[in-house]
A and B are shown apart, each in its own frame.
Chain A
């Protein structure tokens, strides 16, 4: 599998405070990469660097020519303006807006694609409903649909399971698995548990990045990342929290 995105020795910070230091990471074709780490560890910042929203202090981010401009982005749940009156269909259509066409009207093709994606995520009957009237899981799906309408090669999701219930989580994971057959998925999360059976690679980020080819983690690395004692648990095995956690 080829590299779609190559991040080499990237450092970045806000004001004078470094958030990322010498981060290197390769994102492969059809990868399902989990980017985990504590809050404030720089996960969202790394996504923004990949998307070109911010520029690194040093280092380079190389995006394959065919992939540049075809990065789908699902920001954190609460990032859009809830005050803005917009239907699910109109929200999905905003995913078609880019630097080449923001002065033009939506095409028939844009409309058909948006309707088709809403149909696929079982929200076609809700297409004219105001986004703020939808449930958390439905809003998350609309945000994913907005990213998919631009036909991305890589889909970057920031904390996609943070504000949704367990049923919606299961259906979202199934959907992401299905998407992964056609595209690369990068998920930023502070809670990797829901993705435990889904991911191919995992990278831990807390200013520095630890990448794992085989998708395996040991307690020592996680302790470095989270800065506190960590105990690895097998799924389905009853567990206890560490006393000083």
Chain B
């Protein structure tokens, strides 16, 4: 084990995994409770459009993905109440379509395309670690500062409006933070699995607590557990890390839900 940890790629992967889990723990509970899972799915898939354009232009793919996700977040945040599932679905599909066209138009082989689609945390470089660290601060600091405002809009938007809170700005802020989180997580689990990492740790935490702050804390803990175990297994089994991370999360959630059901069944039959 000590030997594995001495590899720089493994250190990078562990650091990225831990930081991504902290980001998930901070933003995931807002996504789940505010029912923004579909919006987040739409945002992550629009990243593919940016990715394709970045390949075509020959710039770092993550920059293209970031630009597209932030642009989509801006549009969604600006439309606010007028936003519909239909619109998100279209944004989702158009993002992917733009990506496919531009990747097709890019001459030669696109070596790390699969990494962006399905994630490969083991490929994280020192630069990626630094970028993730910056994103960690960019996501968590505003949540610390605007926590009461974000909770107010997540709990009761109409009441927040009646209290003269800047609801539109807070919603826009929240969507931008979700977009930044998605950019971070694309490196870990890829575009397709981002939603799972944003929601599974929260779902597990929600089985154990009904207190929002505690759910945030537990989501971080479970996120770290899931990421690090998926990472270790992928190293030993030589299987894709992103998919293993999500599978472990899914299994842990099933186990905890099952155990809870069994224990409540026992209580009612005793």
Which positions in A face B, CB cutoff 8 Å? Answer: 48, 51-53, 69, 71, 73, 75, 79-81, 83-87, 90-91, 94-95, 97-99, 101-106, 130, 146, 150
**Chain B residues closer than 8 Å to A86, beta-carbon distance:** 155, 212
Chain B's nearest CB lies how many Å from the CB of A226? Answer: 26
**Chain B residues closer than 8 Å to A94, beta-carbon distance:** 148, 151-152, 155-156, 159
Residue B210 contacts which of A71, A81, A130 (CB distance < 8 angstroms)?
A: A130
Q: List 22 A-B contacts (CB under 8 A).
A: A51-B161, A53-B158, A73-B162, A73-B163, A75-B156, A79-B159, A80-B156, A80-B159, A81-B34, A84-B33, A84-B34, A85-B33, A85-B210, A87-B210, A90-B212, A91-B155, A94-B159, A97-B149, A98-B163, A99-B166, A103-B145, A103-B146
Question: Beyond A75-B159, A102-B149: 9 further Cβ-contacts under 8 Å?
Answer: A73-B159, A80-B155, A81-B33, A81-B154, A81-B155, A85-B210, A97-B160, A103-B145, A103-B146
A-B contact count (CB 8 A): 85
Name the residue on A nearest B161 (C-beta): A53
**Chain A residues closer than 8 Å to B269, beta-carbon distance:** none
- Is chain A's binding surface mostly helix, strand, loop or mixed? loop
How many angstroms between the C-alpha atoms of A227 and B205 in the bound complex?
Answer: 52
**Chain A residues closer than 8 Å to B156, beta-carbon distance:** 75, 79-81, 94
Which positions in B face A, CB cutoff 8 Å? Answer: 32-35, 145-146, 148-149, 151-152, 154-156, 158-166, 206, 209-212, 215
How many angstroms between the C-alpha atoms of A91 and B156 in the bound complex?
Answer: 10
Residue A87 contacts which of B164, B206, B211, B215 (CB distance < 8 angstroms)?
A: B211
Name the residue on A nearest B159 (C-beta): A75
**Chain A residues closer than 8 Å to B146, beta-carbon distance:** 102-103
**Chain B residues closer than 8 Å to A85, beta-carbon distance:** 33, 206, 209-212, 215
Q: Of A53, A85, A90, A103, which is in contact with the most chain B CB atoms at under 10 Å from its CB?
A: A85
**Chain B residues closer than 8 Å to A53, beta-carbon distance:** 158, 161-162
